[in-house]
Amino acid sequence: MYEERASRLSGAVVWRRTPENPANPSARPVLVLPDGCMDLLWSEGRLLVAGPDTRAHVPGGPPCRWAGVRFHPGTAPAALGVPAHELRDRRVELADLWPAAEVRRLGGRVAAAADPATALEEIALERSPAPDPALRRLVAALDAGRPVAATADELGLGARQLHRRCLTAFGYGPKTLARILRMQRALTLAGAGVSLAETAARAGYADQPHLARDVRELAGRTLGELLGGR
């Protein structure tokens, strides 16, 4: 069972996932789709970081409990102290990024908490600096379907500057970020019952086949398969 709520950390989400039947090996695997975000994770005593995805990720191993803080796009690197591109398409132990003694202390704190997800949120709140307004404007513009070049001009950045900033903050360039945000818009629209033709138009695709190709490339599934699995 999956639950989430808005975090006290600006733009973030606190979530938890509990396997409904851990003994059932045929349970549907969890599919994590690219969304422009990074997560601070806890599972069975381990603290990890999920880097930004460019493709769908299926967690390995047996079903187990998970708790996490999903940072607003672009905000996790400042909190974690590592550029996003170093973690792209990776899940790493927090002890590989922070001093081991500090991670052990934090791991004990989360394990002793009544709600590990809330304990993770408190750690994220302690570590996160104020949001970068330029990055927030960048995400908002691309999520609204603004062209990358026009967005760079509005932010007063050259193409190379924008690309460097995006690699550090998001793990990939602005065009990839725009594609991922567009796919998420499409999934939201289609999941709400909007026809696929209208979804393609409203999300910013050239046409419905363009939508189908892009979703398949990023998610490794058809749009029908993704909606059927929700």
Domain final position from 127, 160, 184? 127
Beta-carbon contacts of residue 27 (< 8 Å; ≥ 6 apart): 19, 20, 21, 63
Give the residue numbers spanning the domain of 139: 133-228
Question: Taking all residues of the chain, what is their mean pLDDT, rounded to a whole number?
Answer: 93
Do 182 and 96 share a structural domain?
no
88 and 164 co-located in one domain: no
* Paired sense of beta strands 46-50 and 91-93, if any: antiparallel
Give yes or no for a contact between 72 and 37, defined as CB atoms under 8 angstroms apart: yes
Exposure of 102 by Cβ count < 10 A (0-12 exposed, 13-18 middle, 19+ buried)? Answer: exposed
For the chain, what is the radius of gyration of the CA atoms? Answer: 18
Are 181 and 151 contacting, i.e. CB atoms less than 8 angstroms apart? Answer: no
Residues 68 and 6 in one domain: yes
Based on the structure, what is the number of domains in the chain? 2
Tokens read off for 229: 């699995």
176 CB-near residues (< 8 Å, 6+ apart)? 54, 170
Same domain assignment for residues 123 and 170: no
pLDDT band at 230 (very low <50, low <70, confident <90, very high): very low
73 conformational bin, left if phi > 0, alpha if psi -120 to 50, beta if neither:
beta
Tokens encoding 19: 């396997």
Of 93, 109, 127, the residue that ends a domain is 127
pLDDT at 24 over 70: no
32 lies in the same domain as 54:
yes
Comparison of pLDDT for 131 and 209, the residue scoring more:
209
pLDDT tens-digit series, residues 42-101: 999 999 999 999 999 988 777 789 999 999 999 999 999 999 999 999 999 999 999 999
- Same-domain status, 138 and 122: no
Domain boundary among 100, 127, 154: 127
- Same domain? For 150 and 179 the reply is yes
Degrees, nearest 5: CA angle 149-37-99: 120
Would the pLDDT of 22 be above 70?
no
SS (H, E, C) 81-105: CCCHHHHCCCEEEHHHCCCHHHHHH
